[in-house]
Chains A and B, each alone.
Chain A
Amino acid sequence: MSDLLYSEIENDLRAGVRGLLDDKAAWTDVLAGTEKDDAHDAALWRALTDMGVTALPVPEDLGGAGASWRETAVVMEELGRAVAAVPFLTGAVLGVAASQAAGDRDLLSGGRTALLAVPFTTAPNGPLPGGVQADGGTVTGTVTSVADAAAADVLLVPASGGLYAVEAADARLTPVVSLDMTRRLCDVTFDAAPARRIAEGDDALRQALAVGAAMLASEQLGLAERCLETTVAYLKTRYQFGRPVGSYQGLKHRLADLWTAITQARAVARYAADCAATGDPDLPVAVAVAQAHCSTVTVRAAEECVQMHGGIGFTWEHPAHLYLKRAKSGALALGTPDRHRAALAALVDLPYGS
């Protein structure tokens, strides 16, 4: 059975990342960032890169840390807690996983940020986008709703049955006003852009999406915990009818159930991370379970956070809306819970039709 706990190294890593985020990504910083033109927090991204956490699963001889997706998942938890606006899931997870799956050492060792140019809703186990054509060393077409595209040095785009690397400078990016302004989208257009094929077929893409979905579950876990903590802290200090509102069972029992669901989220997210790290053949099931569960729990945590804060939770000046927007966008990202359940039907032999 997979190790579902955290190792001492993982706990140390967590403490380091949390310290950095407490310092550089307080929620007030994150909120201010959503109103800036810059799509992400470049200084924070540089600090994370300097810490070495953006290339954890990359082998040491290619300039990485030679660690695994387990450690990366711990970083994801912390980034989820902070709703940090950095292209980590997209660059340090999806991009790295795709480069690894394609066996592309240049991309892995180049110190450049490679991102997948697919709609952020693309699921590892669902239909893949087909709007881009490859022709004679170039690609042409449009991909909508690409997360963090503005942070890319290189875009990895599926086209004509392969995966192609395109210099971001050769693509046209149109920023999209996004529900989650801490992870902004762009529509990306390629117009005979010079492209290099890095993988045949869609295996590399699907593998990257599966690893991404596993890591997203850890981000969701971190965010759900933050929502619960914020809400509990508030309910202890908010008095109505002469009592702390946290003494009412109507609220307490909902939070107890939420805590229970989060303990489960931790187990399924750890299992998915371990399967990704060890190349376990159960990864597709682990990912579908983790996404179906964690997406649901995190949206619930964020929605309860807004509701239980009452009026203040509905304001721009409180962080609850940052959590809610990230939670709901994250639930749509890399496949909705329903799509992951549909995938499970096939994976575990529970089909609707015969």
Chain B
Amino acid sequence: MSTAPPDADELRRRVGDFLAGHDPAATEPLEFLRARFDAGLAWVHYPEGLGGLGAPRALQPQVDKAFAAAGAPTNQPERNGIGLGMAAPTVLAFGTEEQKRRFLRPLWTGEEIWCQLFSEPGAGSDLAALGTRAVRDGDHWTVNGQKVWTSMAHEARWAILVTRTDPDVPKHRGMTYFVCDMTAPGVEVRPLRQITGEAEFNEVFLTDVRIPDEHRLGEVGDGWRVSTTTLMNERVAIGGAATPREGGMIGVVAKLWRERPELRTPGLHEALLRSWVEAEAARLTGERLRQQLTAGQPGPEGSAAKLAFAALNQQISGLELELLGEDGLRYDDWTMRRPSEVDFTRRSPGYRYLRAKGNSIEGGTSEILRNIIAERVLGLPGEIRVDKDVPWKDLPK
């Protein structure tokens, strides 16, 4: 029954056939998206029956473009970054057939938003030290603990959750990964206010939350390996957005420089040109990374792109405040808002400066990324691990 995966021509034909049978203008958007998933045209590199056709990943942009050109409704991927970028590949890699069938379709269509219950107050960079306990109780698990830095928790239907199931073995071995129902009793979401004044993120308190065993992803005790899959996908998702020249923060400062000659000083000119070169280098690097992914040669450059992006945003946003002088002292709004996406360009320079500080912390701190590059790319020796063979329960906390 296995046939060769469709090539570019075959996909073009299938998209054409699909659009002929589902007029985007006359079909209800959700119905359209579900039908697109069922036709295997959602993410074409996924398996048949799960929204894909087992086609090369490189052919996805062509499909998306054809749907966009036909005026088709989108699944608003920006609303479900964690679902699409992290939960889906993890479910695909570790889920049972039933889990894949249950979760992937409404995830892709955007009917169900996902969030990530990983970090804890006591387990940030050292995620494997986490202490949220899951205790087996027949065909269920009872979960207690606190998670933090959870974006979209207040809108999410599901969460990917990693827990401690065996405190008596070293930390990496006693973890188990679940899909958690965010509407279950005992799940409490509280906004976490940031230095910008708003609350993109949440704290999530889990009190006697019951999770059925069929929502476990991977084997009991195998949670670290499952988490690693999620985190690898996170770095690709964060580092790889496409921008035109001057498309990021540098464009804002360049515009300011052009419009306000009275603000110019020689030192700021030098700093601006240095930043412009670095921004263009980072942009071209991102473009090269995308070309590598499209050509099916994903490299380790994703971590580097994220590292460079964080440093650049911080440098440029700091420069903008200095260039502005007096206006740099003002801020637009300290009200605690709950944005569902980060938009640097629509807020004030002070916001950009403060929000950029998070870029080197979220999704892996720059220090951890440097360790990863040094150890996994360059092959340098690892850090000395004092906690390596110590049972989790005996670690200093």
In the bound complex, residues from chain A placing their C-beta under 8 Å from that of B305 are 263
In the bound complex, residues from chain A placing their C-beta under 8 Å from that of B301 are 263
Contact of A271 (CB < 8 Å), options: B284, B308, B370, B383: B284
State how many residues of chain A have any CB contact under 8 Å with chain B.
41
CA distance A350 to B271 in the complex (A): 12
In the bound complex, residues from chain B placing their C-beta under 8 Å from that of A228 are 378
Determine how close the nearest CB of chain B comes to the CB of A217; give it in whole angstroms.
Answer: 11
Q: A350 and B285 in contact (CB under 8 A), knowing A3-B291, A252-B371, A255-B380?
A: no
Q: Which of B58-66, B171-179, B254-262 lies at the interface? A: B254-262
* Segment 264-306 of A: residues with Cβ below 8 Å from B: 264-268, 270-271, 288-289, 292-293
A260 lies within 8 A of B304 (CB): yes
Please give me the residue from chain B that is nearest to A345 by CB atom.
Answer: B273
B378 lies within 8 A of A345 (CB): no
Interface residues of chain B: helix, strand, loop or mixed (majority): helix
Contact of B281 (CB < 8 Å), options: A244, A289, A342, A348: A289
B288 lies within 8 A of A267 (CB): yes
Q: A263 and B304 in contact (CB under 8 A), knowing A257-B370, A289-B280, A341-B273?
A: yes
Please give me the residue from chain A that is nearest to B372 by CB atom.
Answer: A256
Interface status of B102 (Cβ within 8 A of chain A): no
A352 lies within 8 A of B264 (CB): yes
Interface status of B374 (Cβ within 8 A of chain A): yes
Query: A177-198 interface mask toward B, CB cutoff 8 Å, 1 = contact, 0 = none?
Result: 0000000000000000000000
Interface residues of chain A: helix, strand, loop or mixed (majority): helix
CA distance A321 to B133 in the complex (A): 56
Interface status of A105 (Cβ within 8 A of chain B): no
B277 lies within 8 A of A352 (CB): no
Interface status of A5 (Cβ within 8 A of chain B): yes
Determine how close the nearest CB of chain B comes to the CB of A212; give it in whole angstroms.
Answer: 19
A344 lies within 8 A of B373 (CB): no
State how many residues of chain B have any CB contact under 8 Å with chain A.
46
CA distance A236 to B379 in the complex (A): 8
In the bound complex, residues from chain A placing their C-beta under 8 Å from that of B287 are 1, 4, 267
Interface status of B384 (Cβ within 8 A of chain A): yes
Interface status of B369 (Cβ within 8 A of chain A): yes
Most buried by A among B264, B297, B367, B381: B381
Q: A268 and B370 in contact (CB under 8 A), knowing A232-B379, A260-B308?
A: no
CA distance A133 to B396 in the complex (A): 79
Determine how close the nearest CB of chain A comes to the CB of B230; give it in whole angstroms.
Answer: 22
CA distance A293 to B279 in the complex (A): 11
Interface status of B92 (Cβ within 8 A of chain A): no
In the bound complex, residues from chain A placing their C-beta under 8 Å from that of B270 are 341
Q: A350 and B378 in contact (CB under 8 A), knowing A256-B373, A260-B373, A264-B285?
A: no
Interface status of A112 (Cβ within 8 A of chain B): no
Interface status of A46 (Cβ within 8 A of chain B): no
B280 lies within 8 A of A256 (CB): no
Determine how close the nearest CB of chain A comes to the CB of B254; give it in whole angstroms.
Answer: 6
Interface status of B307 (Cβ within 8 A of chain A): yes
A232 lies within 8 A of B380 (CB): yes
A252 lies within 8 A of B379 (CB): no
Please give me the residue from chain A that is nearest to B261 by CB atom.
Answer: A354
Most buried by B among A270, A350, A354: A350
B273 lies within 8 A of A253 (CB): no
Interface status of B377 (Cβ within 8 A of chain A): yes
CA distance A190 to B308 in the complex (A): 49
9 further contact pairs, Cβ within 8 A, besides A264-B308, A270-B284: A252-B374, A255-B378, A260-B307, A266-B285, A270-B288, A293-B277, A293-B278, A350-B269, A352-B264
